[in-house]
Amino acid sequence: MKSKFRQIAIIGKYQVTSSASTGASSRQALDKIAHFLMDVGCDVVLEAETAANLGLQNYVTMDVQGIGKSCDLCLVVGGDGTMLGIGRQLAQYGVPLIGINQGRLGFITDIPLGEFEVVLAAMLEGAFEEDQRCLMQAKVMRDADVVFSALAMNDVVVNRGASSGMVELKVSVDGHFVSNQRADGLIISSATGSTAYALSAGGPLLHPSIAGWVMVPIAPHTLSNRPLVLSNSAEITIEVVSGRDASANFDMQSMASLLQGDRIVVTQSQHKVCFLHPQGWSYFDTLRQKMHWNEGAV
């Protein structure tokens, strides 16, 4: 076979190797994938921290920035959380990502680890579906200053404090006042994130091709506060009116503590994440499998 990709990076889920057996399993999996790629003529690069934490030696290593500048493709071996973190970092470089699922759910890491050789062989020859996903750019404003900023692929979540009551949040879209919401929090989710926290809070599923976001209140005091689908070209502003110890979370992987009067401003990022899926991949097949639809159907 002749691969369309010359230099391929591998990034693994080393952060959760809490036991020797888990670490050995991850090390063996990445080593096997690396040897498969070399056998088909690809140059293999391991992300530096992945290699160091798993004890993988004798490979070329690069940091994430180096991978973004040098590699044609990145294989992410882990779960959706691993993919979220790497996707945000590599989005600015346009490097396509393939997810090999070593986690539990796998909405965006869709190749089972046990099937990677057969599936990857076809994808490396060009048999794949390209899937562009939008990112959110979020910043926390305190008076006129930006005190925190982050990208999010899934969601931006404003939460109440662990020991306090509800927060009151003033929501505006493109400068137009929408409502004051008293709730445990508020989720601004992308279509990608609509199968994550937003779904647990009662939000709708959005197909990834829809240029939209969904705004979902968390346990609202007023039951008429319902999820609202918005254009992802909108600017959403959430102001903390009252509530102690509130925080803003970005993909649940970075957090900013909030004060009364702080504003969280969410806009669409200029960057997108490019996923590659096996040829014939369908979002609906993924939903049916992961959501266990039609189980027991005749």
Q: Please give the positions annotated as active site.
A: 80
Amino acid at 196: A
Q: Running DSSP on this structure, what letter comes out for residue 287?
A: H
> How many Cβ atoms are within 10 Å of 25's Cβ, its own excluded?
14
Question: Which amino acid would we find at residue 260?
Answer: Q
Lookup result for tokens 């779904």: 199
Taking alpha carbons only, the member of 66, 121, 129 closest to residue 97 is 129
- The residue length of the chain stands at 298
What span, in angstroms and rounded, lies between the C-alpha atoms of 194 and 136? 13
Q: How far apart are CA 105 and CA 17, in angstroms?
A: 18
Show the 3-state SS of 81-119.
HHHHHHHHHHHHHCCCEEEEECCCCCCCCCEEHHHHHHH
Tokens of 8: 């391929």
